[in-house]
């Protein structure tokens, strides 16, 4: 089982079978499995057997990823796919996993490669060949998806379009807002933002000017160190930020940071809207796309 889950056998499999359709994917039947070259584990040393079993056991405790690079999986237009494929080869996250590398190292030793440095070199060549093969398959797959979509009148979902736009935007700064704020040198005090929405400024500016109310009925509130910090909290809360975080204590620093946040968001919005307008003429879809992209930009794509 360990040998069959190795990257070497995973690549070998692509040389057997027949193409399913025109997208580059293989259909593997019993006759192909019978022809498949598989390293023979019979008679191996207890040490190699232990290493194979240990690596497979660790892999079984996690979700095994793809062998194609993540940026191509997130891409949905042929133009962008070809541009990515023309760039430097990128190994998928799966090919960086320590347990997979330990498994592949043991398989090469099983094949008689006793020198660890030579095994390491062979593994790197194996990973490059694997990444290149699955990159080529993915580019063809994207091209055929678009062709099929046109022929069938298929419309890409908002999520698909947003993923393509996000990839095409090539933003230099995609750090989630909460993390970005906390990395600022002026953020020097610990504060809390409640989860209930909406957040509104103080309804009693005379006696509680630094208060922010949370929830539809203003049922909960927090008092902050200054009106400026409360304004900053208000903006962050209504952008979806909550929990414990660090913000500036100095009122002027709070105002300056709020301006930076607004400027950062405006710059991202301008880029997103330009790309959105180039993808669809449907006003409702444009609004949904822009809202989703800005949410990813603020909270992080993984967090949404």
Say whether both 136 and 18 belong to one domain: yes
Could you identify the residue written with the tokens 């822009």? 290
Q: What is the pLDDT of residues 208-259, one digit of tens each?
A: 999 999 998 888 999 999 999 999 999 999 999 999 999 999 999 999 999 9
169 found inside a domain: no
Query: What's the mean per-residue pLDDT of the chain?
Result: 89
171 found inside a domain: no
Say whether both 11 and 144 belong to one domain: yes
44 found inside a domain: yes
Say whether both 149 and 10 belong to one domain: yes
Domain termination residue (choose one: 123, 154, 185): 154
Domain termination residue (choose one: 93, 120, 154): 154
Q: What is the pLDDT of residues 185-202, one digit of tens each?
A: 999 999 999 999 899 998
Say whether both 123 and 212 belong to one domain: no
Say whether both 39 and 135 belong to one domain: yes
Buried b (16+ CB within 10 A) or exposed e, 239-253: bbbbeebbbbbbeeb
Interatomic CA distance for residues 6 and 38, integer angstroms: 10
| pLDDT band for position 11 (cuts 50, 70, 90) | very high
Domain termination residue (choose one: 121, 154, 187): 154
Say whether both 201 and 137 belong to one domain: no
**CA angle at 73 for the pair 159 and 268, rounded to the nearest 5°:** 50
pLDDT of residue 19: 67
Say whether both 140 and 233 belong to one domain: no
Say whether both 43 and 118 belong to one domain: yes
281 contacts: CB under 8 Å, gap ≥ 6: none
Q: How many domains does the chain have?
A: 2
118 found inside a domain: yes
Q: Which of 24-33, 44-53, 84-93 has the lowest mean pLDDT?
A: 24-33
Interatomic CA distance for residues 242 and 156, integer angstroms: 32
DSSP letters spanning 221-281: EEE-SSHHHHHHHHHHHHTT--EEEEE--SHHHHHHHHHHHHHHHHHHHHHHHHHHHHH--
State the residue range of the domain holding 39: 3-154
61 found inside a domain: yes
256 found inside a domain: yes
Say whether both 146 and 253 belong to one domain: no
pLDDT of residue 21: 55
Say whether both 148 and 207 belong to one domain: no
pTM, to two decimals: 0.53
160 found inside a domain: no
134 found inside a domain: yes
Say whether both 125 and 7 belong to one domain: yes
Q: What is the pLDDT of residues 86-102, one digit of tens each?
A: 989 999 999 999 999 99
Say whether both 233 and 114 belong to one domain: no
pLDDT of residue 193: 96
| pLDDT band for position 303 (cuts 50, 70, 90) | low
Between residues 57 and 277, the one the model is more confident about:
57
């Amino acid at each position: 089982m360990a040998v069959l889950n190795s990257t070497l056998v995973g690549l070998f499999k692509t040389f057997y079978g027949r193409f399913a359709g025109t997208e580059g994917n293989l259909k593997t039947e019993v006759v192909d499995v019978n022809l498949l070259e598989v390293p023979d584990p019979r008679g191996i040393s207890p040490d190699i057997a232990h290493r194979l079993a240990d690596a497979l056991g660790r892999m079984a405790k996690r979700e095994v990823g793809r062998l194609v690079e993540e940026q191509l999986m997130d891409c949905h237009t042929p133009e962008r796919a070809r541009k990515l494929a023309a760039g430097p080869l990128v190994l998928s996250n799966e090919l960086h996993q320590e347990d997979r590398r330990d498994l592949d190292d043991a398989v090469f030793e099983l094949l008689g490669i006793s020198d660890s440095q030579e095994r390491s070199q062979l593994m790197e060549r194996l990973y490059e060949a694997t990444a290149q093969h699955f990159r080529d398959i993915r580019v063809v797959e994207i091209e055929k998806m678009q062709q099929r979509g046109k022929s069938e009148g298929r419309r890409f979902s908002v999520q698909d379009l947003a993923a393509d736009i996000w990839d095409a935007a090539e933003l230099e700064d995609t750090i989630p807002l909460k993390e970005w704020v906390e990395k600022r040198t002026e953020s020097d005090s610990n504060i809390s933002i409640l989860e209930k929405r909406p957040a509104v400024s103080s309804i009693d500016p005379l006696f509680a000017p630094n208060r922010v109310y949370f929830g539809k009925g203003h049922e909960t509130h927090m008092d902050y160190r200054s009106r400026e910090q409360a304004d900053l909290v208000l903006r962050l809360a209504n952008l979806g930020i909550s929990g414990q975080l660090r913000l500036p204590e100095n009122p002027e620093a709070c105002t300056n940071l709020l301006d930076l946040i607004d400027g950062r968001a405006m710059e991202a919005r301008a880029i997103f809207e330009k790309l959105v307008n180039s993808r669809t003429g449907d006003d409702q879809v444009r609004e949904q796309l822009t809202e989703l992209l800005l949410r990813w930009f603020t909270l992080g794509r993984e967090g949404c």
